């Protein structure tokens, strides 16, 4: 594999529970890792630069931006989902530079609990969804990133 995968991994546990997986990414010659820990940080990163692969946790904190106020008011918890709806739906015209970007979800929730991910506007490929478990090893996670990179929405 000669391509370098420019990755944005969005998860609020990157510097806690997921440290080993995050550190393992730095050891991979074909992955250029970038990180965001809340929906606001991720939104502005996605708006300003292209990525090949974006991996999103569904349960993110919103971050400081007022754009999430409607969700906050209804006690919504899945800001990763809100981010995907915004980037791939409501504001997709502002994200034309992400047309070739492949999206994946890595979350603690089961796939069956999130059928809306596989419908418009997100249309996530079912194989691009992985559930976080303590037994999910770093190598399996890196393989998941490479799989998402090879997939198409």
The answer to whether residues 124 and 153 touch, using CB atoms and an 8 Å cutoff, is yes
pLDDT over 80 at 4, yes or no:
yes
Residue 134: which CATH number?
A: 3.40.50.2300
- Domain of 71? 5-150
pLDDT at 97: 95
pLDDT at 2: 57
Q: Mind listing the pLDDT tens digit for each residue in 42-97? A: 999 999 999 999 999 999 999 998 889 888 878 788 999 999 999 999 899 999 99
pLDDT over 70 at 117, yes or no:
yes
pLDDT at 1: 45
As for how many domains the chain has, the answer is 1
Which whole number is the average pLDDT over 31-44? Answer: 95
If pLDDT is split at 50, 70 and 90, which confidence band does 153 have?
very low
What does the block give as tokens for 5?
Answer: 């995968």
If pLDDT is split at 50, 70 and 90, which confidence band does 152 have?
low
pLDDT over 80 at 135, yes or no:
no
**Contacts for 26 with CB less than 8 Å, ≥ 6 apart:** 33
Which whole number is the average pLDDT over 87-116? Answer: 94
Q: Which of 104, 111, 110 is nearest to 142 (CA)?
A: 104
Q: Which of 82, 76, 127 is nearest to 105 (CA)?
A: 127
3-state secondary structure of 27: coil
């Amino acid at each position: 594999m000669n391509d370098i995968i420019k990755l944005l991994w969005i998860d609020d546990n990157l510097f806690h529970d997921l440290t080993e997986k995050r550190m393992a990414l730095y050891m991979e010659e074909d992955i250029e890792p970038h990180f965001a820990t809340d929906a606001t940080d991720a939104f502005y990163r996605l708006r300003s630069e292209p990525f090949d692969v974006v991996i999103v946790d569904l349960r993110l904190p919103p971050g400081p931006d007022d754009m999430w106020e409607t969700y906050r008011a209804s006690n919504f918890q899945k800001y990763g989902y809100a981010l995907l709806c915004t980037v791939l739906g409501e504001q997709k015209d502002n994200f034309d530079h992400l047309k070739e970007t492949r999206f994946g979800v890595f979350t603690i929730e089961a796939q069956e609990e999130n059928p809306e991910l596989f419908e418009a506007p997100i249309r996530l490929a079912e194989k691009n969804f992985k559930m976080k478990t303590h037994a999910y090893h770093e190598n399996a996670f890196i393989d998941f990133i490479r799989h998402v990179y090879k997939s198409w929405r």
